[in-house]
Structure 1
């Protein structure tokens, strides 16, 4: 394992088709340079997919300006499909069906409560469509003042947060731009979220499907209903999970509800009518084993890196490899990557004082990092967080966030 301050090495890719790789140069201990638009790419094979920045240079034109009007500031759910470098707004009856050869933008605007911008990538979406989607997301994010939390969702590995936007579910269809849509409207409603608390040493919360099928006897869960937050404690949960579930519930209350929500502890078998109204009748719950907690400890591990382009090139410096991290490690003048890739997720935190280039390159930073770490790109979620718009899942990696 690389110690903080040590040089990161790029592990050679495993068996598979040829890949394009970045040249990564280390000039000092703990510093890895991620080469930006001005960098030259070393092409391993003509058959490999063109990297994002290379593809942007190949396009004869950029995304058409002015595609997004003032209506995007209105609360609600809007979905665009990427068609030939343009974002085409879907009709309400078209929302919820995704063609596996396309890429989409999904904007959930909650008025004063902020917005989330999702880039959905179909498993057969072309590389140029994916790049166009990222460019359009940047344009939309700029239009909204850089406020939205950005997420990259990949087909088959979408987050529960994304799936719950579509009240009638999501369907995948074969094909691409030439096909038509036929799908009822989805939408967003009141706050209904379920978090699973799991682990022994590295204990983490992750959002899961809002269903009794997500529960088991060996873990703790948080059912967040807005004004009421239920901490559900499984009969076989360990003492560390019981402590953590209360910490996360308090974090939600204090940072997202401004201290106004009510926290209620619920032991397994003592579920309230309010819980049953949301989740339905309790089903037979799965047992848990100590091995599951050990496996969770591995996948819950995380490291924190600082990203800066003060030298003219993106420079990556490992700040800490053991969480929970001190919150003051996040410096407002820089961007940071929180690596939870073992659990399939990468976070990019954008400080308010970071320069425009760093903020604009946030998704590129994540892609370079995913490639460097040999994480599967089409199975790794990316979340881009402006300072002040951090999610509960991100905050839990830090000490005493309030």
Structure 2
């Protein structure tokens, strides 16, 4: 059993930026600045400071013309606990402002969901620094010196690294940004080239020269900045394959404060689960952590304290289960379930296909949290 404060979501009950959120179809990005929200210029979407946290809202229109929402809160690898907690609280409050309609996602740098990374067609760029160190989202910088390492093809990630030959290798693409934008080892049609063009067109407002550099043909300008070029090591590819046997391993837990304290109790240790185990008056955690993913289901009749505390409970759940800190969390409102969630249930039927959710009889047994395999 573990508990969380049900009043955590009451630090900020409203923010003027909420009035702008989700008014029409499209993407909106905010950075958390001193526990406040600041909109990011649209030309700089996809660029994130590693010391900061962000909110990203995607609003789409369905066939009936109604807006549907995906709400993400993103944490940089060097983000403070205060900023991360503020982002989570602001995400809950924005969700409340949008009447609980969004699907919420917890995103961690380098391990973003496919839904999140799909918003940014030129890839994700991670820049050093953040609010605490005075780094702001600005355009048209002329005095700049930074090096970005570009990895990935399906999901392109450009990460700021030290401006040194020691950051280079023979297998990856790199962008040396001197206010002119040089792309060593890449071409404009490659992922590195696309990121370079985005920097030129968006950050520099088109006022920069883009020069593609092949290894072995480095211009004098690069040598002046980096010094004499040494022999470069080969790149080390990361093993990203997931153990297929873990993809279907899941347990179901109920989150409730019926006894006065917020408690997480075991419902079922084995899937597929019966759909009627999900009670509209409660919240649930579906644990697929061995595959790097946790789902939180919010019943439409669950009380406000449970809805606000359930995201914090999922964070504590990840810690107690000793899952990696980058484990993805997806928070789903009742009737807003995704196919990834539905796959763990036996003969799932959507609300328009069935009458009522039924009644579940579950022993009120507090689960002992144990790490799975």
Q: What TM-score, normalized by structure 1, do the two folds share?
A: 0.58
Structure 1 position 73, deviation (Å)? 2.1
Q: What TM-score, normalized by structure 2, do the two folds share?
A: 0.62
Residues 210 and 124 of structure 1: CA distance in aligned 2, closer, same or farther (over 3 Å): closer
Residues 83 and 94 of structure 1: CA distance in aligned 2, closer, same or farther (over 3 Å): same
* CA–CA separation in structure 1 for the residues paired with 2:308 and 2:44: 30
Q: Which runs of 5+ in 1 are unaligned?
A: 1-31, 40-52, 185-207, 212-291
1:35 aligns with 2:14: no
Q: What residue in structure 2 maps to residue 267 of structure 1?
A: none
Q: How does 1:180-195 map to 2 (within 5 A)?
A: 180-181=136-137
* CA–CA separation in structure 2 for the residues paired with 1:162 and 1:67: 21
Structure 1 position 317, deviation (Å)? 1.4
Structure 1 position 334, deviation (Å)? 0.6
Where 1:306 maps in the other structure, the secondary structure is: strand
Residues 170 and 38 of structure 1: CA distance in aligned 2, closer, same or farther (over 3 Å): closer
Matched-pair contact (CA < 8 Å) for 1:97–1:182: no
Q: How does 1:56-95 map to 2 (within 5 A)?
A: 62=12, 65-70=15-20, 72-95=22-45
Q: Rg larger in 1 or in 2?
A: 2
1:399 aligns with 2:346: yes
Q: How does 1:123-202 map to 2 (within 5 A)?
A: 123-177=77-131, 178-181=134-137
Residues 76 and 134 of structure 1: CA distance in aligned 2, closer, same or farther (over 3 Å): same
Match of 1:390 among 316, 324, 337: 337
Where 1:72 maps in the other structure, the secondary structure is: coil
Structure 1 position 299, deviation (Å)? 4.2
Matched-pair contact (CA < 8 Å) for 2:12–2:93: no
Where 1:347 maps in the other structure, the secondary structure is: strand
Structure 1 position 353, deviation (Å)? 1.1
Matched-pair contact (CA < 8 Å) for 1:104–1:121: yes
Q: How does 1:254-333 map to 2 (within 5 A)?
A: 295-333=243-281
Structure 1 position 87, deviation (Å)? 0.7
Where 1:36 maps in the other structure, the secondary structure is: coil
Residues 64 and 70 of structure 1: CA distance in aligned 2, closer, same or farther (over 3 Å): closer
Number of residue pairs the alignment of both structures matches: 247
Matched-pair contact (CA < 8 Å) for 1:95–1:183: no
Structure 1 position 307, deviation (Å)? 1.2
* CA–CA separation in structure 1 for the residues paired with 2:6 and 2:343: 36
Q: Which runs of 5+ in 2 are unaligned?
A: 141-152, 157-240, 350-373
